[in-house]
Chain A
Amino acid sequence: MKSLIRYSPLLLLALAWEAASRLELVSSLALPPLTSVLAAWFDLLINGELVSNGWASLYRGGTGLLLSVIVGSTLGIFMAWWRPVNALVGPLVELFYPMPKSALIPVTVIWLGFGDGSKILLIFLGCMLPVTIGAFNGARSSDRTLVWSARSMGASRMRMLWDVVVPSALPELLSGVRTALALTFILLVSSELIVARQGLGYLIGYLGADGAYEAMFAVVLTVAFLGFAADRAYQLLMNRMLQWRE
């Protein structure tokens, strides 16, 4: 009930959309009625295009994000803990962090072609730095008395890194991952729009070029919903992992 009230503006927006289109306040080409969009969505679901392209996108996004989390968090924690690593990698991270990652789309295509590989590489490269920086800042802020406590209770250096530095880094690391999650959707859809033969982004571009605007809007809405759901699910996971905080 509470969430019903919370998301009621969404309902108003849907009604306004339907009305604007039905009353011809805007061209139904530019904004097809929501009900037609929903009908097109069911068609896409039944003929399997939504599912097959959705899986392709999910696979690319999931793999790229997973790789970026593994490599990024490891890199960030080692940067915080070993000066030489920081000296070597730190300037590179600073240099590449503000770069618009979509500029890498043609580069990754030249390297790995039109298929999954180029998308995964792009997402990996684009998402790694926010994770790295989160892990780095989190690990660097770990309390030295916690480190000392673990060492004086008999933890080896590596053990202490895993038992103290990693959990200390977790809050900032996890919010870096949240940024990466949002970036995944951006990079995924934009790279599929530009060069791909599969995926939700490709489907949007293909349907748009074909003039199937109802269907195109249906896919756009699907992507928006997936992004929202992923972020929500991630927040739940994050709260669970950080439940020890007050």
Chain B
Amino acid sequence: MSVDGVLGVPPRTTATRRVNFWRWVRSDLRAVLSLGYLFILIFVSVFAWKIAPYSPIEQNVTELLMEPTWSHWLGTDDLGRDVLSRLIWGAPNSLYAAFLAVTVAIVLGVPLGLLIGFLGGWFDELMSRFIDALLSFPPIVLAIAVTGALGIGLTNAMLSVGFVFAPVLARIVRAQTLVVKSALYVDAARGFGAGTGHIIWRHILPNAIQPVIVQVTLMLAIALLAEASLSFLSLGVQPPQASWGGMLARAYNYIELAPAQMYAPGFAILLTALAFNALGESILVALDPTMKRR
């Protein structure tokens, strides 16, 4: 018996999908632009080795600190490296950093929040104070300290940032878990014999995940800025690898000789952070029907 046929659900056609797509583009242009920009950035990151006109680390002492030319669109840096190529190679590093930090935050924070919310009681009291304590640290300062302890480098720096973000997610997930845990449909599920695992997987997680998605998208922007800051402080990406923050730090050293080199990496960071933020806000509006556009 074909169940769908019985149910009389109209199959979704390409035509209706296309209409929905254009409606979405018109209703949320900002999200579309952000998403488009991020897709391009991911594309550039994946194919950096093909797109970049020069090697990002190969030095050329005959072409130091050149103004933009036809062969070097954004000029060259103090070691004669092509700035455009370094900018392109900075993209995968920045995206890797942002996604690594956020993944660490999710892996640590979400289960912790679930556990705290689910167990409740004195465990909740204790862990909530612990989370409060972690959130009292200025995030970059704590990330610097943890990076220093683990050893400097991009991966360690982003593990640290993820560690600093984790309590934020844990707190959100805990609050959601507490709400869902006492929902009547969870009682109903226990009533027909569902175990704790089933309740967490089928009820608590799907209902708690919404604010997490929003927060995670916004966190990508913060992680990106943190990566740039840490690389600027030479705690993140180590030379000769390219990173936008590191490029700014370098450019700042010879700012009087080539002030124009300040702009490209800065704009790259700004645009990417803006895109993540815009996407996060759009998801917030899209997921919450009560958040109508003002």
Tell me whether A and B are bound partners.
no
Chain B residues in contact with chain A, CB under 8 A? none
